[in-house]
Amino acid sequence: MAAPFLTISSITKSFKDNQVVKGVDLDFDKGEFVSLLGPSGCGKTTILRMIAGFEQPTTGSIIVDGKDITALPPNRRRIGMVFQAYALFPNMNVTDNIGFGLKIAGMPRPQREARVAEMLELIGLPGFGKRFPFELSGGQQQRVALARAIAPRPSMLLLDEPLSALDAKIRVSLREEIRAIQRELGITTVFVTHDQEEALSISDRIVVLNGGRVEQFGTPFEIYNRPQTRFAATFVGTLNTIAATVIDPAARTVRIDGQPATIPCLPTATKPGDTIALTMRPEAISLVHGQPRDIVLDGTVSEVSFLGSVIRLKVRLGDNIVALDTFNDQTRPPPAYGEAVKVTIAASDILVLGD
Amino acid sequence: MSSNTAIASQMAPMADPGKPGPAHRLARGRHALASLGQYLGVLPFLIFALLFLIIPTLNLAISAFYDTDGHFTFNNIIELRRQNIVDAYWISIRVSAASAALGAPIGLVIALAIIRGRLPGWIRSSVMTFSGVASNFAGVPLAFAFVASLGRLGMVTVILKFLGFDLYQTGFNLLSFWGLTVTYLYFQIPLMVLIISPAVDGLRKEWSEAAQTLGASPWQFWRHVGLPVLWPNLLGTVSLLFANAFGAIATAYALTGSSLNIVPILLYTQISGDVLHNPGLGAALALGMILITGIANVIYLVVRTRAERWLK
Amino acid sequence: MKQSRGWAWIVFAVGTAYFLIPLIATVVFSLRMRRDYLSFDAYTSVLFDRQFHATFTYSVLVSLFTIVLGLVVTVPAAYLVRLRLPQLRPFVEFVTLLPLIIPPIILVYGYIKMYNTSSILPLTGTAIGTDILLTLSYVALGLPYMYRAVDTGMRTIDVQTLTEAATIMGARQWTIITRIILPNIMIAVLSGAFLTFAIVIGEFTMASLLGRPAFGTYLQRIGISKSYEPAALAVISFIITWGAMGMIQLLSRFAPRTSVRNN
């Protein structure tokens, strides 16, 4: 197991009396694509800026490839960075923008030009060399910004919500492009975003942050299917919650909306009569068409959203409303509003989470 | 136009388009009246602009081409070659250029200091307010303030003499070219600060951060990005400062009387006393002034719009 | 890199010195009328001068007329250009730039040539006519600032949306202007008014060439003839101008604004 490439060691950051980052320890492997995911104010951008060197950690250190770079100024860290607002230099054309880092490093002109041409090919904009930033669309500017960041072959790439300022369609295609380029170059990348779908789709691993602390650090699959905290579960994907009353902890039976059910993952520390929250993803619930699973409940349809290939239904079970997804079936129209339906849940898909 | 149609449709019900009945004609009439009303409101502005800005200036400019008998002539323009007039223009140009060339970099440095120097917040707003006042500051109060500081018995002169340095021994004299320039700086520098501040604000933080991640030192950032981006604005504002100084008279008059013969003072004495014995020549003098300040201002406007396009 | 940069403090210190020293020197000078000790003699001499009262009153009156006339000219124009006649905007903005491009001395020279006793509108023929001409020339001087103040005020309160909302609810044009627009731009209007006042009070060139007894000409006269009084006058004039500017700052804190800005 190779040593981690980037280590963030017991980092805290306070601005005056406000502690924004409250003790974070992370290890990233070389060539890995990691997302820092969380709501506004969770500290993700602050952590990124500390890696870049624009903020100094109040305590803790940052180690890259074995070297402690905490005290190193940003212009000596050899880190590429892409900003939310593109930040292309307006007085230079695309070629000069991309070649800026190379020029500063003293690369002679012919090599610079070759490298810039290589970058333009990589981002799919050959022939755009002479254009100026104000002549480019948002998506094109961001690609040029990416090329500018990686042209000097940095040891790491940092991206600060690079897609937030773009249209939805461009966002999706550009994130895939970024991932493809990153994979091809094998460069260690840290990507900050508040969009969980973005993080899930392109990351090797995700750091879920909230209030300056790490909630969970794992692969997209782990975080989605085995969230360790209530926050991680609700922030990433949709989470259904059903209130149930405990009947017998030893037999792991509960009552849901008057109907009995057996929950294997029920914690034994509960007492009969307790109310607990059962959580599950939408895809864990389905309408009973063929084989019912462990739990069958009666409910009424309260909302139908036909999204094309997927139909999202909201079903009322007593005081609870759950969302469930079902695939479009040409032979079977979706249930109507108010219709009585039976839903079934596999007991193994249920999570009982703390707060 | 939306409020217009809203009002019109309130007055008259919808008429069948095929038959322009009386209701429809009423609506059209009301509509036309409303349009007329719009123009009525702008009328005071238009009349004022014509009668008290555009036409008097044009009239003055044209009268430079007419002699005292009312005949069209180029004589007045040619008369501008008189030595004292050429001297006056030359001094004006030099004073304006000097105060602009000095005021611009000093104003820029101050703007950079208050905006990017990470000073406490109250400094920026108080400097801006002060600049707003000081840029309009001219005439007797300003002249006197400088006499009180740098005149022969001025506070600064006296203090320097006390410390062993005789200012007037070096040949400095407040009532001279350089004295006037230093005095002009008192309103040129604030004007520069006011005008260049938005442009300095526009230097986005991300640019210098991006430059740093690419390995640039602060000096390299300024050399390759910061100054080139500011350059058009700087040039344009120098032009503006030049025009501002060229047209100024009250301070010079208060400071040097008519001894330092800059063009506005020459014009002033001509208007009040026809010292040139030729009204047409006075108009020609004015025409020269208009051309110079006009060109300088046009340069400023053109450069500024081009710079704005860049920084979209 | 969170601390203030050292060089910035140095610049601030040097700048402050350059700008404050003349002011301090003037104040000190104004207190030295009596030879051996500091006194307010220069001030009493000035404040008891009948000429001071006469010219100051004159300039204040002229500034009031200038403000009113300036509002009549700019407010309807700003409103209509913003709402109904956006195609006029380039022309209007060009006109508001003219007083900044054309030096005041040229402007007044133009007036003298055009409105002298042998023209259609012989304003310079009579004292009252010249007063009117002076007022008009001050309206021209203040036009860029007055228009910008009013226009910005209207933009800040999003005059377009307010008008449309009021119209949909049934208000007529006159009601809209008097009950909705005017009260909301009052602060902007007052800012423009104070600025105009500051400009008029100290103005010299136009008043002198038109031969009117304004405060600016009085300042020049005293500046030539007396030694200490001009310093006192300079201090008084600082205080007035600073007072006016201070009012503008104060007013801008109370300016109403809508949260959505679409401009």
Q: Do both A203 and A250 map to the same domain? A: no
With respect to residue C156, please indicate whether it lies within any of the assigned structural domains.
Answer: yes
With respect to residue C261, please indicate whether it lies within any of the assigned structural domains.
Answer: no
CB nearest to B133's CB, from C97, C107, C242: C242
Disruptive mutation site among B213, B219, B224 for chain A (greatest number of A CBs within 10 Å)? B213
Give how far A113 is from chain B: nearest CA, Å. Answer: 17
Cross-chain Cβ contact C163/B117 below 8 Å: no
Contacts of C212 (CB under 8 A, 6+ apart): C58, C130, C131, C134
Q: How many beta carbons lie within 10 A of that of residue C127, not counting itself?
A: 11
Amino acid at A71: A
Q: Is any Cβ of chain B less than 8 angstroms from the Cβ of C162?
A: no
Domain membership of residue C154 as a residue range: 49-253
With respect to residue A102, please indicate whether it lies within any of the assigned structural domains.
Answer: yes
Cross-chain Cβ contact B271/C74 below 8 Å: no
Tell me which residue of A84, A113, A292 sits closest to A171, measured CA to CA.
A84
Q: How many beta carbons lie within 10 A of that of residue A31, not counting itself?
A: 15
Contacts of A304 (CB under 8 A, 6+ apart): A311, A312, A313, A314, A334, A335, A336, A337
Chain centroid to CA A66: how far? 27
Q: Is any Cβ of chain B less than 8 angstroms from the Cβ of C28?
A: yes
pLDDT band at C258 (very low <50, low <70, confident <90, very high): low
Dihedral sign for Cα atoms in the order B165, B166, B167, B171: negative
Give how far B49 is from chain C: nearest CA, Å. Answer: 7
Q: What percent of chain C has pLDDT over 70?
A: 95
CATH number of A317's domain: 2.40.50.140
Name which residue leads in pLDDT, C34 or A19. A19
Per-residue pLDDT tens over the stretch A116-173: 999 999 999 999 999 999 899 999 999 999 999 999 999 999 999 999 989 988 999 9
With respect to residue C7, please indicate whether it lies within any of the assigned structural domains.
Answer: no
pLDDT of residue B9: 30
pLDDT of residue C262: 41
Residue A188 three-state SS: strand
d(CA C147, CA C72) in angstroms, rounded, equals: 11
Q: Do both A185 and A51 map to the same domain? A: yes
Residue A308 pLDDT > 90, yes or no?
A: no
Per-residue pLDDT tens over the stretch B270-302: 888 776 667 778 888 888 888 888 899 888 888
Specify whether the CB–CB gap between C22 and B132 falls below 8 A.
no
Quick one: average pLDDT of B40-66? 87
Q: How many beta carbons lie within 10 A of that of residue C126, not counting itself?
A: 11
Average per-residue pLDDT for chain B: 81
| The two three-digit tokens of residue A46, written as one number | 């602050």
d(CA C105, CA B290) in angstroms, rounded, equals: 10
pLDDT of residue B33: 62
Contacts of B121 in chain C (CB under 8 A): none
Helix (H) and strand (E) counts in chain A: 8, 19
CATH number of A55's domain: 3.40.50.300
Nearest residue in chain C measured CA to CA from B158 = C25
Cross-chain Cβ contact A134/B216 below 8 Å: no
With respect to residue C40, please indicate whether it lies within any of the assigned structural domains.
Answer: no
Disruptive mutation site among C109, C141, C238 for chain B (greatest number of B CBs within 10 Å)? C109
Give how far B306 is from chain A: nearest CA, Å. Answer: 12
Evaluate whether ipTM surpasses 0.90. Answer: no
Contacts of C110 in chain B (CB under 8 A): 56-57, 59-60, 286
Amino acid at C179: R
Average per-residue pLDDT for chain A: 89
Number of domains comprising chain A = 2
Give how far B270 is from chain C: nearest CA, Å. Answer: 10
**Pairing state of beta strands A33-37 and A188-193?**
parallel
Amino acid at B254: A
Q: Is any Cβ of chain C less than 8 angstroms from the Cβ of B21?
A: no
Contacts of A85 in chain B (CB under 8 A): 204, 206
CB nearest to A89's CB, from B215, B225, B309: B225
Per-residue pLDDT tens over the stretch C47-69: 888 888 899 999 999 999 999 99
| The two three-digit tokens of residue A112, written as one number | 């610079």
pLDDT of residue C261: 42
Cross-chain Cβ contact A75/B229 below 8 Å: no
d(CA A132, CA A143) in angstroms, rounded, equals: 13
Instruction: Give chain B's radius of gyration (CA, Å).
Output: 27
- The domain limits of chain B are 2-63, 81-310
pLDDT of residue A175: 93
Rounded to the nearest 5 percent, the helix, strand and coil shares of chain C are: 80, 0, 20
Residue B287 three-state SS: helix
Reported as type and span, the H/E element at residue A33 is: strand A33-37
Specify whether the CB–CB gap between C206 and C137 falls below 8 A.
yes
Name which residue leads in pLDDT, A233 or A50. A50
**Tokens 């009085």, residue located:** C218
pLDDT of residue C152: 84
pTM: 0.77
**Residue that terminates a domain, selected from A200, A229, A258:** A229
Reported as type and span, the H/E element at residue A261 is: strand A259-262
Dihedrals φ, ψ of B260, to 5°?
-95, 105
Give how far C259 is from chain B: nearest CA, Å. Answer: 22
Cross-chain Cβ contact C113/B243 below 8 Å: no
- Across A39-48, B65-74, C23-32, least confident range: B65-74
Q: Exposed, middle or buried: residue C168 (CB in 10 Å: 0-12, 13-18, 19+)?
A: exposed
With respect to residue A64, please indicate whether it lies within any of the assigned structural domains.
Answer: yes
pLDDT of residue B209: 94
CATH number of C152's domain: 1.10.3720.10
Residues from A contacting B (CB-CB < 8 Å) are: 52-54, 73-81, 83, 85, 87, 89-92, 100-101, 103-105, 132, 134, 145, 148-149, 152, 154, 158
pLDDT of residue A160: 95
Pick the CATH number of B81-310 from 1.10.10.60, 1.10.3720.10, 3.40.50.2020, 3.40.47.10: 1.10.3720.10
Give how far B209 is from chain A: nearest CA, Å. Answer: 8
Number of domains comprising chain C = 1
Q: Do both A72 and A183 map to the same domain? A: yes
pLDDT of residue B8: 30
Per-residue pLDDT tens over the stretch A160-215: 999 998 998 899 999 999 999 999 999 999 999 999 999 999 999 999 999 999 99
Contacts of B139 in chain C (CB under 8 A): 202, 204, 216, 219-220
Q: Do both A72 and A34 map to the same domain? A: yes
CA distances from B57 to B270, C89, C111, C121, C210 (A): 17, 22, 8, 16, 17
Cross-chain Cβ contact B149/C22 below 8 Å: yes
**Tokens 């604005």, residue located:** B233
Q: Do both A268 and A213 map to the same domain? A: no
Domain membership of residue A101 as a residue range: 6-229
Contacts of B100 (CB under 8 A, 6+ apart): B188, B238, B239, B241, B242, B244, B245
Q: Integer distance in angstroms from the first to the last C-alpha of chain C?
A: 35
Cross-chain Cβ contact B212/A78 below 8 Å: no
Tell me which residue of B144, B193, B239 sits closest to C204, measured CA to CA.
B144
**Pairing state of beta strands A340-345 and A285-287?**
antiparallel
Per-residue pLDDT tens over the stretch A247-306: 888 887 888 877 788 877 777 777 788 888 888 888 888 888 767 777 888 888 999 998
With respect to residue A354, please indicate whether it lies within any of the assigned structural domains.
Answer: no
Per-residue pLDDT tens over the stretch A66-123: 899 999 999 899 999 999 988 999 989 999 999 999 999 999 999 999 999 999 999 9
Residue B74 three-state SS: coil
| The two three-digit tokens of residue A173, written as one number | 């295609």
Q: Integer distance in angstroms from the first to the last C-alpha of chain A?
A: 34
Q: Where are the alpha helices (DSSP H) in A10-122?
A: 44-52, 94-104, 109-122
Q: Is B169 left (phi over 0), alpha (psi -120 to 50) or beta?
A: alpha
CB nearest to C28's CB, from B130, B155, B293: B155
C-contacting residues of B 152-191, CB under 8 Å? 154-156, 186, 189
Q: Do both A48 and A188 map to the same domain? A: yes
**Tokens 């789709």, residue located:** A201
With respect to residue A244, please indicate whether it lies within any of the assigned structural domains.
Answer: yes
C-contacting residues of B 268-307, CB under 8 Å? 268, 271-272, 282-283, 286, 289-290, 293-294, 297, 301
Give how far B20 is from chain C: nearest CA, Å. Answer: 26
pLDDT of residue B312: 56
With respect to residue C90, please indicate whether it lies within any of the assigned structural domains.
Answer: yes
d(CA C11, CA B105) in angstroms, rounded, equals: 12
- Across A200-204, B167-171, B252-256, least confident range: B167-171
d(CA A11, CA A27) in angstroms, rounded, equals: 12
